[in-house]
Amino acid sequence: MQDSASSTASGSAHRFAIEVCDVPDERRASLKRFRELREQCLDMLRGDSPASVTSQIHDLTWKTAVFRTLNEARRIEASRPANGPLWELVVEGYVHQMTIGIRKLVDRHHNSNSITNVVSTLNENVELFTRENYVTHDGLPFDYDPAFERHITSFSGVVSPKAVWVPTTGPEAWDTSKRMHEMFDVLCGTPSPRAREQKMQPCVLTNLLTNLGDDRIRKIRKLANQVHAHADRSASKPGALTVTTFNDLHDALRTIVRVTNFVSSTLLNDAAFGSVVPTPQFDALEALDEPWVRGESLAQLHEYWQKVSDEMDTWAYDSNAGFLPPNDGQAGAGGTHLEGEERQ
């Protein structure tokens, strides 16, 4: 149950008003900035937008689980024939979506919902990560001992107390405050003595940025930029691109998930991934043991293939139509072909 002293604004990431927080008046401005920073980053990470970082991650982890399962099926039944063009489309589609997706998640453009931008935003405001702001930003007491003593005193005279709820939020949440202090001990690298204005080590954030720029992610970004997102002429030069493997895609996504989880759960004290791969509400392998089409349908599909091919071939016919200027007033609005050119 939410404490009666709480004052959660609609859409706010915080349960308690700043006035409730255990911070001296002279440092409430710093706390306000810390809360605004936290809300901004949580919105980028877990907001309602389908472009939130976690939504992008769930999309890629789902595609990875599907592709790896299909690839394992090919390995298990290596002697079973498979349609070459279909499997090529699956492989190329997966690689394309993964390289573009990973590039988006580490994008540095200021308008992007990327984990790189989240970490960079935190890094630009690292001075706000004091022990006081970290522990007390949402109503927790800085000194948890008095709240613990009040909790113990509440059992005075009770011979056989029943199970009770321990507050997890607000001024009486002594255990949550204790755990927040213990985490900040690790973040600041100095467990004692504990001081309100103690700061987090900047290397925490620079280490995260270093991980997001490792060799595997750098190779994938280069592949996305030069091949999948742009037809870069330089990509065809010898040595322009290093080989990127399925393992690189897998490891890069793992790094992004781990960094995102750390930022959300440890730095911002919010949710962690319960399940990285979305849980399907259906059998994801349904009909996988069925052929794509029946043998008697192949003749019809051959005809359809030829129809589609012939239709697209017409796109190249009369290639001058509509592009050339009128010739002595003879051309109509639709253009004409060159004199002497035979229309196909």
Taking Cα atoms as reference points, which of 111, 51, 120, 63 lies closest to residue 259?
120
Taking Cα atoms as reference points, which of 47, 5, 292, 59 lies closest to residue 167?
5
Go through the chain and tell me how many residues it has. 344
- DSSP 3-state of 217: helix
User: pLDDT (tens digit, 9 = 90+) per residue, 54-72?
Assistant: 999 999 999 999 999 999 9
Say what the pLDDT of residue 335 is: 46
pLDDT at 288 over 70: yes
Say what the pLDDT of residue 329 is: 61
- pTM assigned to the model: 0.87
Taking Cα atoms as reference points, which of 101, 74, 68 lies closest to residue 86?
74
- Phi/psi at 130 (5° precision): -95, 160
Neighbour tally for 20: CB within 10 Å: 19
The Cα–Cα gap between 129 and 275 comes to 28
Taking Cα atoms as reference points, which of 176, 166, 164, 191 lies closest to residue 140?
176
Q: Per-residue pLDDT averaged across 311-338, rounded?
A: 74
- Phi/psi at 13 (5° precision): -90, 5
Domain ranges of the chain: 47-129+204-313
Q: Which parts of the chain are beta strand (E)?
A: none
Amino acid at 25: D
User: pLDDT (tens digit, 9 = 90+) per residue, 167-203?
Assistant: 999 999 999 999 999 999 999 998 789 999 999 999 9
Query: How many Å separate Cα 79 from the centre of its chain?
Result: 38
The Cα–Cα gap between 54 and 265 comes to 13
